[in-house]
Structure 1
């Protein structure tokens, strides 16, 4: 949510992660008890961005990105201590890409798009193994992603440690990735040629703690640090020159209160604070109500409406000049501007014995007016609004 993506490649990966997070709704990330069941899950999602405003778009192509996501997840216990999980994701993307925003002679913000529909595919595979101890867990993860212009290989470790009769849980994770960029159609520009075989590296560390207050209230907090280095500009955009390093710090706090409205319910509150050395500061607040009903024997239904608010300040090098100085950092990427965003969504899950059916929907809207604390006088027609639909089925065995 902190403007860390850099074009179609990262957008596709973000949508895949969003869809995957909905399988299943009831998964408990804080449990240190090895699941005693295997699971096969299939999910499809469709991401659709709203069209660019025609009155602010230079080229007649206003269609934005549409992404179809197909996912397969297989997980199973191995022996008494191990739980293995593998995931496959296949995505297709099409639509026009924003390339630059600048002010015209009338002082209005004009969006320059690619002028043609982009068609891309991405395949991702990941494998994770978790070892369960009497007082916690230790996990390993390996993931690989491939598309026509971007290759990524990631490795990570995570662990938990339970203290105070399991009322306190310490969490920690570490991950790194190595990406290679090969822009499509390099003959179009010198920038794309210079970015051929460019490298990007990322290192992330997170430490957190979960505390059970009583049988109904659980709180969790943590701090994370990520460092990106290498080629961080976007070769598909005009006049996009970004620093070669980016240091990001996040802090989060979550609150869970379990209630008894109807049959069973829980209130979720999440706050995330973010800062980086590009000058961006952001906050997000998410609230979710999870309501469950026992319909009849071996059948339950769960409904979880959600609302999220997000705001950020602009990067120090964000500018809307058509021809900025070549020796200065510059980007007109709307994701680096000052803006705010709201999301409304709902998730549903129907469990019938060992079968689980899930469905989800989210509507995301962003604008400069929603920034509240730092409103920009410049329009940002490249800001995105979108909808995501998803449906899945899972079978436990």
Structure 2
């Protein structure tokens, strides 16, 4: 049956409106026609910066355990993945997660969703399963782990709070729970992230002479510009004021892609003014990083920079890195995903969530000072308070 010109034009319009999906499928077809074999494994990643970093660590270690040497990634933040994978030669294609449907997943021997938990979207044992070391074993372990938490996975992200408690009860954290699901060894926090060290020259900074500060949040889950996200600590300015009295030679740099409020105590405001490479360089060379729980904490951990992290609705036992100052709430807290709008509204009805409002800025500053003192940095950065 021949198509009318009107129908053809309509199809062309639809093609233009869905470039990510159609071009991705087209690219797969081109690779097959040109005898460029499509990788046998694809990973789908969703969430914010921290979720992508945790997922990349898992992919790194999963490939090491199974011998996977080529794979494709479909994600919600392609720019972040391309940066994270810039030095990784195994990743062949980075596509849009919205294009990752059943038809596309079936192009692979294994299609695996990697978020706060693992989920197998497609698995058809074939040549790779037979030749890859331990591949079938780890797939079986994933299937067993998934079977225990199917309701959580089906209702992601609305039961993620329960998932965090569940993982912490088992002795795991955000950075290694995915590994536990697949029964693979965690290869450590460090990632070989591309950095732009010229950022220090551009902003007139020297290594270990400044502290980076962030009070940002994931805009995918909080879009109300008139309210402060519940996970954002409201007294960073007061913490910085206390730190200045003890560290007169140290600068304070506000970084991130978004801020919950201005930090006028900072010497330099670089919010939404740096590339991923530049912010990585700033974190890598920082004396310390001060933040609420978020993606830049995961980035700092990947670069070996110590952090002080103020927790409220999210769980320090799940999100915290062992060597960081993980400051848990004095009152309340842990309400992450108990209600759909948990990040926009205190579920107890307070204007300022008590989990954050009761955190003493001076006590937080003391924790930062203690960590810097123990790091052995030059005493010229410090000032002993007068008695």
Into which bin does the TM-score normalised by the smaller protein fall?
under 0.3
Q: Using structure 1 for the length normalisation, give the TM-score.
A: 0.24
Q: Using structure 2 for the length normalisation, give the TM-score.
A: 0.25
Bigger share in helix: 2
